[in-house]
Structure 1
Amino acid sequence: MQRSFICLFLCFFSLFARAELTVEITQGVDEPTPIAVVPFAWSGNQALPDDIAKVVGDDLYRSGMFKVMPRDNMLSFPSDRSSLYFRDWRISGSEFIVIGRISESEGQLNVGFELYDILKEERILGEDIKANRDNLRAVGHYISDKVFEALTGVRGAFSTRIVYVTAKQLAPSNHRYRLMLADSDGHNPRTILESKEPILSPAWSQDASKLAYVSFESGRPAVYIQYLATGKREKVQSFRGLNGAPAWSPDGKKLALVLSKDGNPEVYVLDLQQRRLTRITHHFGIDTEPSWSPDGQSLIFTSDRGGQPQIYSIYLPTRDVTRLTFEGQYNARGRLTQDGRFLAMVHQNNGSFHIAVQDLRTGRVDLLTETFMDESPTIAPNGSIILYATQEGIRGVLAAVSLDGRVKFRLPSSDGDVREPAWSPFR
């Protein structure tokens, strides 16, 4: 089992390298909202390390919901209400405008921003933020979140983070694997773990302070927990055979795991405080890829107990099992949106693997992607975007699609491949 599991993993990877991800929009909404994000006025002497307005503009553009005015087309650069002439911006075609200013006092930065409705000539929101030179990008993401929510009614997720796995082949039998952490836009990547052996299945705790993942560093698969603030890591109980697919419970007190210690891959739940292990599934089929329902009362998982891989749900208080997917011969790696209504999954169609979403109220299944080798879907905490791994030529990239399929973009690495993405919850 161990050797076959490693071989299966290596089949999904080609040559990997560490690099910052970039964003390429491939499809947006038919009529994105025109918005201008004006460069923020800076009253200090020393140049700032990051351009907040550019961060905001890039975030909004990446969402696919907004058409951001190029700076070269701007007739002026207002930084407050007194210098904002709505008529000029109406002529330019913009419907909304973000302006701001940055000042410095006793080594601390003061960032003020405002969002205006150009057609109504009304201020929608504004805020003053304390910052320093090291967290200007974070401030930009925060502003993007506020603007996005004000204009769409959906909480922004630009301030969240992602993890993913990369690897670099140093020699035919020598690989270097890294577990990477980055901002949601791929910037500020940093290495969480580096190993000569494969790393799999990173998963976030609900408070976004810890990661669980599978590492082969001891020569066999084992589950580890990593504390992001301190770098401390601990090995979860390791059993003979497969130890994989960790998933945090919503309260952060338990991990769902896949273990084969009893001879067959089954879903278990580990109480992290009492270190008590409970077997959840009992079937001769392969049960794997557990994921929690938002209320913590159920687990969804992939099983071939019906002859083909399909997604099931088990209600933990009674252990009643319900089959969720019926359309197609292959559905796997299910993930629920935060409201529990939609199920994102890998769906096989005409021999290719795509990302699909199923409305659990109506049973309707929508195919969201057109690429041919899609895997590992993970959902943004606001439920708007599904991030997944796919193939582009001979290399792997991260790609994203909105829940309705109208917005698509890729986050390819400029030097190598990436896999196994996991999107953090809100912090």
Structure 2
Amino acid sequence: MLVSVSRRRSLAALAALGATLGAVPALAQVRIDISGVGGSRIPVAIVDFRDEAKSPQPIAAIIRADLERSGQFRSVDAPAGLNETSVPAFPEWRSKQADALVAGTVNRLADGRLDIRFKLWDVVKGTELIGQAQAVHPDDARLAAHRVADLIYEKLTGDKGVFATRMAYVTKTGRRYSLVIADADGEGAKVALTSPEPIISPAWAPNGRELAYVSFESGKATVRVQDVQTGSRRVLADFKGTNSAPAWAPDGSQLTLSLSREGGTQLFAINRDGSGVRRLARSSAIDTEPCYSPDGTQIYFVSDRGGGPQIYRMSAGGGGADRITFNGTYNISPAISPDGRTLAYITRTNGAFRLSVMDIASGDSQQISDASEDESPAFSPNGKLIVYASRAGGREVLMTTTLDGKIKTPLLITTAEVREPTWGPFSSQ
């Protein structure tokens, strides 16, 4: 069956089209817990912000956790006492083995907003690198902290940070499914949709304002698109048979779906308004789980045309396909990095479903997880992390990992079923 671990659980409903499943779970959030040994990480000291108690969120702690989770930084103990107006004693911080230093202040303005200020210093050179002030509603204090972490990350690495982006995923508790949207650290979760029928395959639109997903609420699999701000929804595909596996083109003009409208299960392109449906390939195989290359010229997908589920690639305009995966007999759930160089996917090895990555140019691949129930990988928009769902100690968990698998961080641990995470674009906040 051409499905991931989550698809084995949730798409069992696809075969049994009206199965009732799903209730909104009580989610147990966890703090940063990095496992594995990373390579060279920048040592950074982040001092608790002065008057941080005025904020409903622990600003400095959020920044520390964001930077550590990226795999690019390690925290250095930082006693309180500094703020953004201070003149740091750089020799003392160098003696603490810190390369960078962050300090700031939180003030409450007369209109109730929070004035959050910070500075970043290069301890080695003894110079100020960046400073910023932002006034935010208290409800946006966590987002403000993520934005500070993004600025620090970009200044010190040269790459854009992803901490202020969002994720979406599906949970199942009892007899109810929920489509959940959360911060990139797994916190601040909000339920966008609940249903007694399955919700599967969420996919962010490139504009960061819409999610496409598969819903069974009408008694069959249909593809719907929801505005995440207003909650308004529309049916994109409700053709004869099943409608599944939506994937947005990078420019947002169209999606590719897996449809059985003409018999079998094949890939079709469809305009974002539901018009212009066109079949991309013709075979007797099951083709599903499409994803676009970053430039929009190619589609990666899963097919059993070779006898078992493997990952293939074809032109976004359709036509013939080339097989991409050759290691093992079961490879599914492709995701392509934003630079187009790396394929993340799930491979089955001795009955275990594990996250793997492949260098597309060379074909070299490696498993970067030793778990047994990994599923649904998705890249961060800067391509530096992968989010996926798994199980640990008998509990469901969302994880992020660096591409080498050396630094893994649980974002969410819950007794509810959690599946199919998808990472939103830079514009998703």
Give the 5 Å matches for 1:18-417.
18-22=26-30, 23-42=32-51, 47-70=54-77, 74=79, 76-80=80-84, 82-107=86-111, 108-169=113-174, 175-273=175-273, 275-317=275-317, 319-417=319-417
Residue number in structure 1 paired with 2:7? none
Shift of 1:121: 1.0
Q: CA–CA distance in 2 between the matches of 1:3 and 1:102?
A: 48
1:365 CA drift (Å): 0.7
* Residue 156 (structure 1) shift: 0.9
Distance 1:18 1:266, change over 3 A: farther
Cα distance in 2 for partners of 1:3, 1:290 equals 16
1:404 to partner: Cα distance:
1.9
Point out where structure 1 has 5 or more consecutive residues left out of the alignment.
Answer: 170-174
CA distance in 2, matches of 1:318, 1:5: 29
User: SS at 1:125's partner residue?
Assistant: strand
Aligned to 1:172: none
Structure 2: 5+ residue runs without aligned partners?
Answer: 2-9
Task: Report the 3-state secondary structure (helix = DSSP H, G, I; strand = E; otherwise coil) of the residue aligned with 1:418.
Answer: strand
Q: Distance in 1 between matches of 2:348 and 2:36?
A: 23
CA contact (8 A) 2:381 2:425 kept: yes
* TM-score normalised by length of structure 1: 0.91
Q: 1:4 to 1:98 in 2, by over 3 A?
A: closer
Q: Is the 8 A contact 1:20 1:189 kept in 2?
A: no
Deviation at 1:311, TM superposition (A): 0.8
Is this contact kept in 2: 1:60–1:144, CA < 8 A? yes
Matched ranges for 1:8-27 at <5 A: 17-22=25-30, 23-27=32-36
* 1:36-80 Cα distance to aligned partner (Å, 9 max, x none): 11122239xx83212211211111122233222345xx2x42113
Specify whether residues 15 and 179 from structure 1 end up closer, same or farther in structure 2 by C-alpha distance, changes over 3 A only: closer
Whole-Å Cα distance in 1 between the matches of residues 272 and 84 of structure 2?
52
Q: Is the 8 A contact 1:241 1:259 kept in 2?
A: yes
* 2:237–2:274 contact (8 Å) kept in structure 1: no
Work out whether residues 179 and 199 of structure 2, in 8 Å CA contact, stay in contact via their aligned partners in 1. Answer: yes
Tell me by how many angstroms 1:9 deviates. Answer: 10
Number of matched residues? 416
Q: Does the C-alpha gap of structure 1 residues 309 and 318 become closer, same or farther in structure 2, counting only changes over 3 Å?
A: closer
Residues 414 and 24 of structure 1: CA distance in aligned 2, closer, same or farther (over 3 Å): farther
Whole-angstrom CA distance in 2 between matches of 1:406 and 1:265: 38
- How far apart, in 2, do the equivalents of 1:419 and 1:300 lie? 21
**Separation in 1 of the partners of 2:400 and 2:218?**
34
Q: Quote the Cα distance in structure 2 between the aligned partners of 1:17 and 1:361.
A: 42
1:394–1:20 distance in 2 versus 1, CA, 3 Å: closer
Amino acid at match of 2:106: I
Q: Distance in 2 between matches of 1:313 and 1:84?
A: 54
SS at match of 1:136: helix
One-letter amino acid matched to 2:96: S
Contact 1:16–1:418, Cα closer than 8 Å, also in 2: no
SS in 1 for 2:237: coil
What amino acid maps onto 2:303 in structure 1?
Answer: S
Aligned CA distance change for structure 1 residues 20 and 275 (closer, same or farther; 3 Å): farther
Contact conserved, 1:15 with 1:395, CA < 8 A, in 2? no
Is contact 1:214–1:244 with CA below 8 Å preserved after alignment?
A: yes
Output the CA distance in 2 between the equivalents of 1:69 and 1:117: 14
Deviations 1:253-299 (A, max 9, x none): 21111111112000011112361101112110110001111111221
Q: Partner of 1:41: helix, strand, or coil?
A: coil
- The one-letter code sitting in structure 2 at the alignment partner of 1:336 is I
C-alpha displacement of 1:83: 4.0
Give the whole-Å Cα distance in 2 for the aligned partners of 1:113 and 1:228: 31
Change (3 A) 1:224 1:317: closer
Query: Are the aligned partners of 1:292 and 1:299 in contact in 2 as well (CA < 8 Å)?
Result: yes
- Contact map agreement 1:287 1:304 (CA 8 A) in 2: yes
TM normalised by structure 2 equals 0.91
Residues 87-133 of structure 1, C-alpha deviations (whole Å, 9 max, x = no match): 22222222211011233444243322111121221112222223221
Closer, same or farther: CA 48–25 of 1 in aligned 2, 3 Å: same
8 Å CA contact retained: 2:22, 2:177: no
| Equivalent-residue separation in structure 1 for 2:294 and 2:354 (angstroms) | 24
- The whole-number CA distance in structure 2 between the counterparts of 1:191 and 1:16 is 8
The alpha-carbon deviation at position 252 of structure 1 amounts to 1.1
| Identity percentage of aligned residues | 36
